[in-house]
Amino acid sequence: MKTYQKEITFKPKRRGFHLVTEEVLQKIDISTFSIGIATLFIKHTSASLSINEDADSSVRDDMEAFFSEICDNKDYYTHTYEGSDDMPSHIKSTIIGSSITIPITNGRFNLGTWQGIYLNEHRDYGTPRTVVLTVIGE
């Protein structure tokens, strides 16, 4: 059994759902794993990670519209220290999640044909985001 861990920092992104699969693959080396499990964990409470459609960008637009409709502009939010996007960002992050798990086969992510890794920025003006990739396998 072997392990690999690396922190990946993404440049600031605008609010929305961003396909980052290729950006992740450019920053890591999992080629020595014949089989394994990769976990990606985002070290922030106002952004999230998910896996979804990678072919049609309208999916990402629709995801942003949906989560904005259900989470933004609520009069009862009291946690607004960092602005009106503060509490909605935390709620979106909780609903979507801070980590994803991807199988590794023959040194590559074993994603479905239309699957990609999303970094979901929930702040109006994002900051650099750090993700920890941990791989356990053979």
pLDDT digits (tens, 9 = 90+) for 64-85: 999 999 999 999 999 999 999 9
pTM: 0.96
pLDDT at residue number 127: 97
Q: Where residue 103 sits, what CATH number does that domain have?
A: 2.60.120.460
What is the distance between the alpha carbons of residues 50 and 30, in angstroms, rounded to a whole number?
A: 20
Please report, to the nearest 10 degrees, the dihedral formed by the alpha carbons of residues 114, 119, 120, 125 taken in order: -140
pLDDT in tens, 2-19: 999 999 999 999 999 999
pLDDT at residue number 46: 98
CA proximity to 111, closest of 40, 21, 31: 21
pLDDT in tens, 23-54: 999 999 999 999 999 999 999 999 999 999 99
Domains held by the chain: number: 1
Please report, to the nearest 10 degrees, the dihedral formed by the alpha carbons of residues 119, 99, 21, 30 taken in order: 150
78: domain range? 2-137
pLDDT at residue number 85: 96
